[in-house]
A = this chain, B = another copy of it.
């Protein structure tokens, strides 16, 4: 037995700097190496026990949240993380109506302005191309809180962190992603890319009517993802497959409202995907395995039995809770401590 290298009390500042995120923007999960994300998860896990007790890591720091698109959930959880780190928040949830952008100010100048008054920016925007061409305006790190349809990395990172905390190391982890429409499912694909990166296995369950786009296939292959796709399964077949997974991720869906025929067709299509509490309990009895149900919310009645809310299989509300320590770690890593 011998002393570990550099034997001294652990300092969260060092752990945060291991992520290499100081001063950087947080835009795509794939911008980061596996070890960097693991460092972030480790930092989040150190922070987690104190999340209700305020850590004074960001005491003199200010977060600016700029939301060009609605989202109480993402805005509150980001602001919450900053407040729990001892920092302050300036918030603009309606910039199109209440700022010079309404009068035609460029996003470049707008980001420069907000940078002046803050130490980090949480930006949500409907137009990702506009953001990418204006991002140089920011002189402080920027977190993507959702840009167009292409990036929403804090959803992905909180999904991954929830798995990390529930199941530990990603090696050997097996996650089902189930939806009748794999041609969309943005949050599902982000999560899958993260899982691929971490080394987990993915079981896609979809329908031949709305197949996964070739682009997504390419990206998954590029990332060396271990994945399989099953289409048009019956509910029994889905549950059978699920019994071998650690968790099932539902990326959400929107039921057509206006056209009754479209609506009926969609309800028909999603029927076999419906997850019941009974089904999960049957799996548990047979295999001893508790399959966690994940969802990025908002959810819909037709996706799964809401009685799961109060069961041991529920992970979707836990995802919201785990989003706080991981966002605390993210903000502290990007701004840097000491």
Complex-state Cα separation, A323 to B72, whole angstroms? 28
| A 61-93 contacts with B by CB, 8 A | 62, 64, 66-67, 70-73, 75-77, 79-80, 83-84, 88, 90-93
Q: Which of A35-43, A99-107, A173-181 has 4 or more CB atoms under 8 Å from chain B?
A: A99-107
Q: Which residue of B lies closest to A69 (CB)?
A: B98
Q: Which residues of B contact A94 (CB under 8 A)?
A: 93-94, 97-98
Residues 290-302 of chain A, each 1 if its beta carbon lies under 8 Å from chain B, else 0: 0000000111000
List which A240-257 residues lie within 8 A (CB) of chain B: 254
A152 → chain B, closest Cβ, in Å?
Answer: 14
B100 touches A72 (CB 8 A): yes
Once bound together, how far apart are the Cα atoms of A101 and B67, in whole Å? Answer: 16
- The interface residues of chain B lying within 8 Å CB-to-CB of A110 are 72
**Shortest Cβ distance from residue A31 to the other chain B in the assembled complex, whole angstroms:** 25
Say yes or no: is A185 at the interface (Cβ < 8 Å to chain B).
no
Closest residue of B by beta carbon distance from A309: B112
Task: Report whether A72 and B92 are in contact in the complex, using a CB–CB cutoff of 8 Å.
Answer: yes
What are some 15 contacts across the A-B interface (CB < 8 A)? A52-B60, A72-B98, A73-B113, A76-B92, A76-B117, A79-B90, A79-B117, A80-B117, A92-B93, A100-B297, A105-B297, A106-B298, A109-B297, A109-B299, A117-B324
